[in-house]
Chain A
């Protein structure tokens, strides 16, 4: 039987110690052990990006990472994007530009877009679309999402 393991990691800037099952994915650990339910399970096989988080500085899909791999890791989830209670420009832009409808894809798009803008503060439309190709949205048709990211990028550079 797989056993319980104690994991020490920094999540959204906060050092944490938590108990997980050895067979948990990072997504399961976040949602079910720690109670951070912002990251969504869309496909559970790496294809949709709804579970995207930033792990040690790079974008990953948390459903294809094992929780057991996290010893000492640094993780940012959608819950860690806002500064205190204050939304970052990317989040405001998603709201203002109506870049979501049902919202299940939104945490993944926000995290992936954050990783993009950290890496490239002035991406072209092509670069945004290429970067976000692994995030699927059933509702918006993508254009509004792309515009929100462009909008946020402009605001952040100002």
Chain B
């Protein structure tokens, strides 16, 4: 590891000041499962770690029917899937949080880190998009909010400006009749990077879809919100035909690359398949069925 200084600010103001004063080589340290590895391998010039885990807002996990869910950006995955309220109301977040790395990674890895890292295959990002997540950002000019689907800009890049940090992600309370599901395709069951991943959030009135948000990952330079896939469902009954129309929209939106994990053709196909499967599971959850996250 290169020489590095460690700071542990107690407030968002202090954290922002440290980031601003020390420039781009001052890196936020949440769970460290991305940044410590990148710093050690010198893939990111890192002169300072700004550990944000002593800041109460960053470690907050709270729900209210009016405010919805607030997930502090540094809350580790294990706290998310062991939380009774989140498990009951946001099983789609559990789908993601319980798949990021293995148990020891989940002891530290945060949704905020996953989002800020801006990997095209980040496993929490499609879920956060589908669930209408909003990133709460603090910086030298105060607070601002960015929708999760607009947060990542390119592989490893996000909208944060100098001195800004992600403080929390907010989700509206689930609508009555809604359900959401995240799935990832990898060649084994755990511990790999997605070939494709996908999340769907549906609201049903009887069998008619009244709202739908679908996002796919690992098929574009950033996790992709696919409004056309949702639009193929809204106002229509959930049938094999409407589901196929939505899945086709995902396949059309995907602009993947060939790499060692999968080919363009396979990724296009998987965009279709995972869209279809997440729609079916989301509908089951919307109807109150239990769909286990593993």
CA distance A157 to B144 in the complex (A): 52
B106 to chain A, nearest CB (A): 8
Interface size class of B (residues with CB under 8 A): 20 to 34
Looking at A9-17, A53-61, A96-104, the stretch in contact with chain B turns out to be A53-61
With a 10 A CB-CB cut-off, give which of A55, A65, A66, A116 has the most chain B CB atoms. Answer: A66
Given A2-B3, A66-B6, A66-B32, also A60-B108 (CB < 8 A):
yes
B43 to chain A, nearest CB (A): 11
**Is the pair A130, B104 in contact by a Cβ cutoff of 8 Å?**
no
Q: Indicate whether B291 reaches chain A with its CB closer than 8 angstroms.
A: no
- Give the interface SS of chain A, mostly helix, strand, loop or mixed: mixed
Question: Within residues 12 to 55 of chain A, which ones have a CB less than 8 A from any CB in chain B?
Answer: 22-25, 44-47, 49, 52, 55
Given A58-B78, A64-B37, A133-B189, also A23-B102 (CB < 8 A):
no
Which residues of B lie under 8 Å from residue A65 when comparing CB positions? Answer: 32, 36, 108
Q: Indicate whether B107 reaches chain A with its CB closer than 8 angstroms.
A: yes
**Is the pair B104, A52 in contact by a Cβ cutoff of 8 Å?**
yes
Which residues of B lie under 8 Å from residue A24 when comparing CB positions? Answer: 1
1/0 contact string of A111-141 vs chain B (CB within 8 Å):
0100110000000000000111111000000
Given A22-B4, A23-B2, also A58-B190 (CB < 8 A):
no
Which residues of B lie under 8 Å from residue A131 when comparing CB positions? Answer: 102-103
**Is the pair B102, A64 in contact by a Cβ cutoff of 8 Å?**
no
Q: Indicate whether B226 reaches chain A with its CB closer than 8 angstroms.
A: no
With a 10 A CB-CB cut-off, give which of A2, A5, A44 has the most chain B CB atoms. Answer: A2
**Is the pair A46, B37 in contact by a Cβ cutoff of 8 Å?**
yes
Q: Indicate whether B13 reaches chain A with its CB closer than 8 angstroms.
A: no
CA distance A93 to B153 in the complex (A): 51
With a 10 A CB-CB cut-off, give which of B3, B29, B36 has the most chain A CB atoms. Answer: B36
CA distance A49 to B49 in the complex (A): 24
A95 to chain B, nearest CB (A): 24
Question: Within residues 38 to 54 of chain B, which ones have a CB less than 8 A from any CB in chain A?
Answer: 40-41, 49, 51, 53
**Is the pair A22, B36 in contact by a Cβ cutoff of 8 Å?**
no
CA distance A65 to B53 in the complex (A): 13
Contact of B103 among A55, A59, A63, A69 (CB under 8 A): A59
Which residues of A lie under 8 Å from residue B294 when comparing CB positions? Answer: 130
Contact of A112 among B1, B37, B103 (CB under 8 A): B103
With a 10 A CB-CB cut-off, give which of A58, A63, A64 has the most chain B CB atoms. Answer: A64
Q: State the A residues within 8 Å of B (CB).
A: 1-3, 5, 22-25, 44-47, 49, 52, 55, 58-61, 63-66, 68-69, 71, 112, 115-116, 130-135
Top-7 shortest CB links A-B: A134-B102, A68-B6, A133-B190, A58-B107, A2-B3, A23-B1, A60-B107
